[in-house]
C-alpha cells in the first residue's frame, strides 16, 4: 500500500559513566638504615590505572599507587619516603560490552597512616575507579506516510561521535630554585581548553608541580607550572564541533641540577591525552498524526534525546580557617603546605546552576618556637558552592583538584587557608519527546456531511488539535478563517466550509 507508514532509525552518542567501584590498597614504607622515624609531617597517594582487558560484563585493569611520606627523624631532620605499589583488579557491570573502548578514571578518596614506628610506616589509600564510554542509542521514528495522513513533527538535535583520538606526549621544563635536596615533588594535570578543528582536536592545559626542597635543614616550597598545547590527529573531526578531553600523567621525573653555585629543577613528563568530538544533526520526530479518510491506531513512546556538551573548566575559590588545639604547640611561621588535594563528593545541577560539593585537604607544616622544630596539622575544608555557570541537564563526568593553596598565620593558634580549585565538568542535556512508535491504518472514517462545521476553541487548544478534531488541514483552517490569530486564547469560532457532491 502506498499509505503504509515508513519508520527509520537514528543513532545518537553521548558520554556516560558505566560503573564505579572502590578498592583499598595498603603498603609499608621503610626508612634508610640508621634513620629513626619520629614524626610524620605529611602523606599522600596518587593512582595511575590502565585497562588490560574488556569482556562482556567485566573490565580488568592494572594499577600503581605512588605513596609519599614526609617525616622528621629523632634528630629533627626532614626526610621523605616513596614507594610504588602495583596491583590488579576488575570492575563488573552489565553495561560493559566486549570490544568496547571505555576510559578509566581514578581518584584517591582517602589516605590514612595505619601505624608509625621508628623503623616502619604502614599506610593505606582508598581508591575510586570509574568507567566512562560513549553510549550509542537508537531512536525509531516515523519518516513517511500516505498523502491523506497528516503528521505533527518536533525538531530534535542528536549528537553522533565523529572522532576519537589518543596520544602520548612528552613534556619538559626547568625551574631555577634554591636548595640542596628535593624532599618531595607532586604534580597534577589540568585541562583548560579543548577545540575541535578540521581532522584534529586541540587540547590546552598545564601541569602544576608542588616541590619541597631542603635548604639548611629548612623546607622551601616551590611551585612550577608546565603549560602545554597539543593537536591530536582526529580523522572525521569537524571544525568547531563539540569536543571534550581527558589527560593523565603516566610518568613524572623531578631532578635537582646544580653546578655548585646555581640550582634548578628539571621536570620530565609522559602524558596520555584522549579526546572525542561530536557532530550535531537535526531530525524530525513525528509526535501525532491523523487521517482525513481513515481511522488510525497510534502507539506512542517517550524517548530521551541526549546531547553531550563541551567540557567546562571552572575555577572557584574556597576559604576557611583552622585552629590549633590546646595540645599543639603555637605556630610562629608557616613553613610549607604539602599533600593538598580536592575530593569531589558530588556535582549536580539545580535550577540551572552547577552545584559543587567536596572537601579540600592538606597538611600545613609550621615552625614552633616552643618546640624549636617543625610541626604539622591536617586540614579539611568542606564546601558546597553554586557556580555562576548557566547549565542544563545532568552531569556526565566531573573531576578536579586543588590548583593553588596558601595559608596565612593570623594568631599563634589560628591559620587562614585559601584554595583555588579547578573542576572539569561534562554535562548531558536531555530532552524527553513523546514520539509515534507504531501506526496502523484502520477502517474508513466517517466523513462529515455538513456543508459548514463549527468548532469553538478550548483553552490551551492548538491549531493542530482543531484540525485533527474537524478532519481537515491546518492550512485550510487558516485559509477559511483569515481573521484567526495564533496562538489561540480559547473561545474562538472556527468555521470549515465543504463542497458536498449530490
**Residues 359 and 435 reside in one and the same domain:** yes
**Residues 52 and 100 reside in one and the same domain:** yes
**Residues 130 and 221 reside in one and the same domain:** no
Determine which helix (DSSP H) or strand (DSSP E) holds 479, and give its type and residue range: helix 474-480
Answer whether residue 163 is part of any domain. yes
Task: Report residues of the chain scoring pLDDT below 50.
Answer: 1
Q: How many domains does the chain have?
A: 4
**Residues 411 and 364 reside in one and the same domain:** yes
**Residues 107 and 168 reside in one and the same domain:** no
> Quick one: 172 exposed, middle or buried, by C-beta within 10 A (0-12, 13-18, 19+)?
exposed
Among 287, 303, 337, the domain boundary falls at: 287
Answer whether residue 340 is part of any domain. yes
Distance from C-alpha of 174 to C-alpha of 292, rounded to nearest angstrom? 78
Best CA proximity match to 393, nearest among 494, 309, 303, 268 = 309
Q: Which domain holds residue 360?
A: 313-439
Distance from C-alpha of 289 to C-alpha of 437, rounded to nearest angstrom? 12
Best CA proximity match to 374, nearest among 50, 14, 71 = 71
Answer whether residue 148 is part of any domain. no
**Residues 373 and 432 reside in one and the same domain:** yes
The CATH number linked to 464 is 3.10.350.10
Residues 6+ apart with CB under 8 A from 483: none
123 forms bridges with which residues in the sheet? 27, 113
- Span 54-108, pLDDT tens digits: 999 999 999 999 999 999 999 999 999 999 999 999 999 999 999 888 889 999 9
How far, rounded to the nearest angstrom, does the alpha carbon of residue 143 sit from its chain's CA centroid?
Answer: 35
Residues 6+ apart with CB under 8 A from 235: 163, 199
Best CA proximity match to 374, nearest among 78, 117, 112 = 78
Q: Where are the beta strands (DSSP E) in 234-332?
A: 242-258, 263-291, 294-308, 312-323
Angle at Cα 347 formed by Cα 350 and Cα 338, nearest 5°? 140
Could you tell me the pTM of the whole model? 0.86
Task: Give, in order, the Cα–Cα distances in Å from 191 to each of 274, 345, 401.
Answer: 11, 20, 11
The three cell numbers of residue 110 are 582517602
- What confidence score (pLDDT) does residue 217 get? 87
Answer whether residue 131 is part of any domain. yes
Task: Give, in order, the Cα–Cα distances in Å from 159 to each of 135, 138, 153, 193, 282.
Answer: 11, 12, 19, 20, 9
Answer whether residue 303 is part of any domain. no
Residues 6+ apart with CB under 8 A from 502: none
- What confidence score (pLDDT) does residue 1 get? 44
**Residues 77 and 119 reside in one and the same domain:** yes
**Residues 386 and 452 reside in one and the same domain:** no
Answer whether residue 299 is part of any domain. no
269 forms bridges with which residues in the sheet? 171, 252
Answer whether residue 305 is part of any domain. no
**Residues 277 and 165 reside in one and the same domain:** yes
Distance from C-alpha of 245 to C-alpha of 234, rounded to nearest angstrom? 12
Neighbours of 240 (CB within 10 A): 10
**Residues 29 and 114 reside in one and the same domain:** yes
Asked if residues 409 and 333 have their Cβ atoms less than 8 Å apart, the reply is yes
- Span 365-411, pLDDT tens digits: 999 999 999 999 999 999 999 987 788 888 888 999 999 999 999 87
Strands 149-177 and 263-291: what pairing?
Answer: antiparallel
- Report the half-sphere exposure of 419 (CA within 13 A, side-chain side): 29
**Residues 36 and 127 reside in one and the same domain:** yes
Edge to edge, what strands does the sheet with 58-73 contain? 37-55, 58-73, 78-92
Best CA proximity match to 47, nearest among 230, 250, 189 = 250
**Residues 68 and 185 reside in one and the same domain:** no
Question: Helix, strand or coil for residue 140?
Answer: strand
Answer whether residue 304 is part of any domain. no
Read out DSSP for 30-84? -PPTT--EEEEEEEEEEEEEEEEEEETTEEEEEEEEEEEEEEEETTS-EEEEEEE
Among 137, 165, 196, the domain boundary falls at: 137
Amino acid at each position: 500500500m502506498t499509505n503504509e507508514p515508513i519508520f527509520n532509525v537514528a543513532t545518537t552518542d553521548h558520554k556516560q559513566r558505566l560503573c564505579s567501584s572502590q578498592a583499598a590498597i595498603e603498603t609499608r614504607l621503610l626508612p634508610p638504615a640508621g634513620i629513626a622515624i619520629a614524626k610524620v609531617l605529611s602523606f599522600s597517594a596518587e593512582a595511575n590505572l590502565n585497562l588490560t582487558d574488556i569482556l562482556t560484563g567485566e573490565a580488568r585493569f592494572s594499577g600503581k599507587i605512588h605513596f609519599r611520606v614526609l617525616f622528621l627523624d629523632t634528630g629533627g631532620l626532614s626526610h621523605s619516603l616513596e614507594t610504588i605499589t602495583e596491583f590488579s583488579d576488575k570492575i563488573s557491570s552489565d553495561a560493559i560490552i566486549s570490544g568496547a573502548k571505555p576510559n578509566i578514571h581514578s581518584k584517591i578518596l582517602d589516605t590514612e597512616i595505619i601505624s608509625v614506628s621508628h623503623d616502619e610506616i604502614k599506610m593505606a589509600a582508598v581508591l575510586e575507579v570509574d568507567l566512562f564510554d560513549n553510549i550509542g542509542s537508537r531512536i525509531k521514528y516515523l519518516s513517511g506516510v500516505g498523502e491523506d495522513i497528516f503528521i505533527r513533527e518536533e525538531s530534535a538535535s542528536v549528537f553522533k561521535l565523529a572522532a576519537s583520538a589518543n596520544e602520548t606526549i612528552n613534556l619538559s621544563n626547568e625551574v631555577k630554585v634554591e636548595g640542596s635536596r628535593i624532599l618531595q615533588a607532586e604534580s597534577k594535570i589540568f585541562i583548560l581548553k579543548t577545540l575541535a578543528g578540521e581532522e584534529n582536536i586541540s587540547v590546552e592545559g598545564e601541569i602544576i608541580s608542588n616541590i619541597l626542597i631542603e635548604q639548611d635543614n629548612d623546607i622551601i616550597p616551590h611551585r612550577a607550572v608546565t603549560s602545554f598545547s597539543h593537536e591530536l590527529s582526529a580523522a572525521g573531526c569537524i571544525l568547531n564541533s563539540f569536543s571534550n578531553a581527558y589527560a593523565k600523567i603516566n610518568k613524572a621525573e623531578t631532578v635537582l641540577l646544580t653546578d655548585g653555585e646555581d640550582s634548578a629543577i628539571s621536570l620530565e613528563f609522559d602524558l596520555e591525552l584522549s579526546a572525542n568530538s561530536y557532530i550535531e544533526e537535526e531530525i524530525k520526530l513525528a509526535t501525532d498524526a491523523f487521517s482525513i479518510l481513515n481511522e488510525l491506531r497510534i502507539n506512542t513512546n517517550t524517548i530521551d534525546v541526549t546531547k553531550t556538551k563541551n567540557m567546562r573548566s571552572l575555577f572557584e575559590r574556597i576559604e576557611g580557617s583552622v585552629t590549633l588545639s590546646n595540645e599543639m604547640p603555637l605556630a610562629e611561621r608557616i613553613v610549607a603546605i604539602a599533600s593538598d588535594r580536592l575530593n569531589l563528593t558530588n556535582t549536580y545541577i539545580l535550577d540551572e546552576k552547577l552545584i559543587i560539593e567536596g572537601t579540600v585537604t592538606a597538611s600545613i607544616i609550621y615552625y614552633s618556637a616552643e618546640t624549636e622544630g617543625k610541626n604539622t596539622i591536617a586540614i579539611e575544608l568542606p564546601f558546597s558552592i553554586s557556580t555562576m555557570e548557566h547549565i542544563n541537564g545532568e552531569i556526565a563526568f566531573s573531576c578536579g583538584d586543588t590548583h593553588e593553596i596558601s595559608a596565612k598565620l593570623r594568631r599563634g593558634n589560628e591559620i587562614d587557608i585559601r584554595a583555588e580549585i579547578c573542576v572539569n565538568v561534562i554535562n548531558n542535556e536531555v530532552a524527553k519527546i513523546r514520539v509515534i512508535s507504531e501506526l496502523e491504518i484502520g477502517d474508513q472514517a466517517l466523513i462529515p456531511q455538513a456543508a459548514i462545521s463549527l468548532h469553538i476553541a478550548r483553552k490551551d487548544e492548538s491549531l493542530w488539535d482543531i484540525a485533527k478534531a474537524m478532519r481537515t488541514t491546518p492550512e485550510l483552517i487558516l485559509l477559511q478563517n483569515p481573521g484567526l490569530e495564533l496562538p489561540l486564547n480559547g473561545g474562538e469560532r472556527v468555521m470549515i466550509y465543504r463542497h458536498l457532491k449530490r
